[in-house]
Amino acid sequence: MRFKGKAWGMLMLLMIVTVVAAACSSNSGNSGSTTPGKTENTGTKAPAGSKNGNNAIIAVNANFITLDPHNAGDTNSISAVRSMYEGLMGFDENMNLKPVLADSYTISDDGLVYTLKLKEGVKFHDGTDFNAEAVKVNIERIIDEKNNLRMRRSFSRVTKVETPDANTVVITLSEPYNAFLNKLAMGLMISPAALEKYGDKIGQNPVGTGPFKYKEWIEGDRLVVEKNADYWQQGLPKVDSLTFKPVPENGSRIAMLKTGEADFIYPMPTEQVNEVQNDSNIVIDKTDSTIVRYVTLNTMKKPFDDLKVRQAINYAINKDAFIKVVKSGLGTALDSTMSSKTQFYSKQEGYGYDLEKAKQLLAEAGYPDGFEAEIWGENDSETMKGMQFIAQQLSLAGIKLEVKAMEGATLSDQINSPKSPEEAKIQMWFVSWSPSSGDADGATRGLFSSEMFPPAGSNTAYYKNENVDKWIAEANRSTDAEKAKAIYSDIQKQIWGDAPWAFLAVDQAISGKRAYLDGVKVYPDGSINVLNAEVKQ
């Protein structure tokens, strides 16, 4: 959908200019982050009356793209599939790895052989046994090239899956891959019987081992999951059903929370935090995140193929003002290719706000009067606000942006349908990314490896650097954590200098809930964990 409404756009622009001026003249810095791995609760939690029924409604900011756990790439889809599916490994609320369907594991000294002992007595929602053969079927589905699944490249080093008995799986890799356990946490297990029955329609017919079972998905309106009464973790789940509702408009989402039409919302509109944090019926949770916010710049398309243009864009955007205007001060400036909460993070220097330097670099690149371009993004309130802010900032350097806001599925199709970089129409994309696998590889390879141009991955900057490609491979092969850390430091420095993104901010993950709801938690990667959801009467 194209962004329309010229009169509204001019009013919005004037408002943003006013607020930016105030932000730039303020002496206050960015809001400080909370203690790593901790959660800050604000507001007074008090009983909010009873709630009819033992069900909960969760409002999110965008539609789900898919319910196929091997093909999910957006955070909302990942949240949805994790309510129904589980992996051999998983994550705690600090994104630390933990066994889930695996009881234990060992790794050979050469880093090539992973032996996993499985939990016994677990069944899929359709009654099929979870066992070693089920694991083999899932991994073979993921690595089969003809299936063209997003997760395939994370399992590309798998050469053999053996099942010496029903409760043991032995996975052999072609070379060491130090992020493989993290990838196993993303490789959620689907019922083999359901795969045989539904084939490539499994995304509309989810069958996992998780705490909730699929009931219905009406795209654009709701996804409903029901309690799995036979769930292997005793005493869970504690609610009868969950309904996920996509609500892109910020005002509508917060209104649903205030009235109790929604029991939990994420993201919480940052501009509303101060208004509701003293409401005893509402609890606001703030969690340090691994979510980075940026604009990809198509390095294979003019004028973004010029390094000076890309650097100029970085200097022309006031990151502190972005955080204050778009995020209501709730975030920190992005100072690398990944969040400081991500494995092997290395801080970089430079790209402070300097409009004159931006203009100078544009002139040196042959664009003294700037140029025209378009910026893409989803059609939720905050994304549109962010794109308007970026357009206003870049206009001061002579860069005139046309803002194009699209529904998530439409945008995904626009990005992933081109068969080659030459066919790609994308110029700039305002987006966020979080490594749901929790590792440096998840924050790097899919975004910056030349093997990960769409649709294979999310390198929408079409960035290609031979050293970076080589270093990513070396880092993944390393079984020495210190060596891997040093390589990732080089990777971040190189990419930062090459500026395939306009580096913006690191989000705080902010959610709001009714005071009677417990156990729903936003993890640092932005996914919503519902395992312990409970409605307290």
* Omega before residue 176 within 30° of 0, cis: no
Q: Do 322 and 424 sit in the same domain of this protein?
A: yes
Please say if the pLDDT value at position 360 is more than 70: yes
Clarify whether residues 93 and 191 are in a common domain.
Answer: yes
CATH number at residue 531: 3.40.190.10
Tell me, yes or no, whether 334 and 443 share the same domain: yes
Separation of alpha carbons 318 and 340, rounded Å: 20
Which amino acid is present at 304? F
Distance of CA 271 to the CA centre of its chain: 21
- Give the number of domains in the chain: 3
Residues 107 and 120 in one domain: yes
CA gap 355, 370 in Å, rounded: 13
The domain of 157 spans 86-197
Within this chain, do residues 181 and 221 fall inside the same structural domain, yes or no?
A: no
Is 32 within the bounds of a domain? Answer: no
Specify whether 469 is located in the same domain as 415. yes
Q: Please tell me the pTM assigned to this model.
A: 0.79
pLDDT tens figures, 500-536: 999 999 999 999 999 999 999 999 999 999 999 999 9
Integer Cα distance of 225 and 219 in angstroms: 14
Instruction: Give percent above pLDDT 90 in the chain.
Output: 83
Among 176, 197, 218, give the residue marking a domain's end.
Answer: 197
Same domain for 139 and 244?
no
HEC profile of 57-70: EEEECCCCCCCCCC
Residue 187 within a domain:
yes
> Does residue 205 form part of some domain?
no
The predicted pLDDT at position 52 comes to 65
For residue 12, tell me if it sits in a domain.
no
The answer as to whether 412 is a domain residue is yes
54 occurs within a structural domain: yes
Percentage of the chain with pLDDT > 70? Answer: 90
Is 150 inside any structural domain? yes
Q: Look up the CATH number of the domain holding residue 173.
A: 3.90.76.10
Same domain, 344 and 491: yes
Instruction: Tell me whether residue 96 is in a domain.
Output: yes
By DSSP bridging, strand 212-218 and strand 168-173 are: unpaired
Residues 335 and 473 in one domain: yes
Are residues 185 and 241 both part of a single domain?
Answer: no
Whether residue 55 has pLDDT greater than 90: yes
> pLDDT tens, 334-352?
999 999 999 999 999 999 9
Give the residues across from 114 on adjacent strands.
107, 171
pLDDT in tens, 445-455: 999 999 999 98
What SS3 state is found at 433?
strand
Domain end position, chosen among 129, 164, 197: 197
